[in-house]
Amino acid sequence: MSKGVEGQNVEEFLRNYENEMPTRYSYKDIKKMTNNFREKLGQGGFGTVYKGKLIDGRLIAVKVLAEPKGSGEEFINEVATIGRIHHINVVRLLGFCADGWKKALIYDFMPNGSLERFIFFDKPRSHCLHWETLYKVALGTSRGLEYLHRGCETRILHLDIKPHNILLDEDFCPKISDFGLAKLYSNKQSVISLTGARGTIGYMAPEVYSRSFGVVSHKSDVYSFGMLLLEMVGGRKNFDQQANSSEVYFPDWVYSRLECGGDLEVGDIKGEEKEMAKRMMVVGLWCIQINPTDRPSITKVVEMLDGNSQTLVLPPKPSFSSPKKRSSLESDSGHTEMSIL
């Protein structure tokens, strides 16, 4: 699609929602805010992020989008979703730029960056964050997701929950970010229509890339959140070919340990911290059930993490023993009635 057509689509959207949009800036303003793009914070498939400052002195993060390859959907998604919502656990969009094909998005600056820099290390299951902080990040992220699924006038399916997209402010309060793949749906919709797979391999729910596993819904975000939880506890990617053969697929290893009551090997932790780790693992395993109907809603996840459920039961073993075996499903779907907490 040409830049002209893409620009027309974006301008039409902005005209339709003009009264609901955050502040619009010119590209000249963007260059001034970022001191001519002096300090780069990061780069991804959709664009490059720079550090900047508003006139009032507030620090900001400015995402300058790459040249469009379609209808401007990524830009429209961001502005249409977080441009009109406010929640403590969702990143705030302060403004945007749409000068022809030059587009940028302006957010609050998150001094601690993304969650992934605090949980992935060369030595698995080593953490630089206290367990209480990790737990608060998990709970805050689940509350942000609950707001997107149930608290907005128009519901939002994120479709790309992963450590890189969870930003942390100065107090390590988590903020869900990057809504470029998000899908809006009404309160009456329980099934979401997608034209193709969206998300990141390793976090993407099975039904997102193959409808034979079920329909795409809010439970697809729950799956991604479950994978996130397990990685937070493990301090490693869920699939690691460099690990010992029994630990290549971390969810498998976690389940086996919980099932036999073995040591979780998550560092020198005892008492309350150990209970936090176990709770996060069990909730994570519930979230990654192969059948979407077997996964809890995000509201139930919040309750489980918040401790409202005094006893958590170990779920059925996730059907995928590893990403390599996603072409076949196990037939056993019975629950293992085992009290873990």
Q: Is 160 a catalytic residue?
A: yes
User: 72: left (phi > 0), else alpha (psi -120 to 50), else beta?
Assistant: left
CB 318 within 8 A of CB 330: no
| Dihedral (CA of 59, 93, 299, 207) sign | negative
Catalytic residue (one of 29, 99, 160, 171): 160
Is 63 annotated as ligand-binding? yes
Question: At a CB cut-off of 8 Å and minimum separation 6, what does 39 contact?
Answer: 50, 51
Which of 88, 310, 320, 152 has its CA nearest to residue 223? 320
Angle at 290 between CA 285 and CA 292, to 5 degrees: 95
Which of 134, 98, 110, 143 has its CA nearest to residue 266? 134
Backbone phi, then psi, for 304, in 5-degree steps?
-65, -40
- Which residues are annotated as part of the binding site for ATP? 63
Catalytic residues, by residue number, are 160
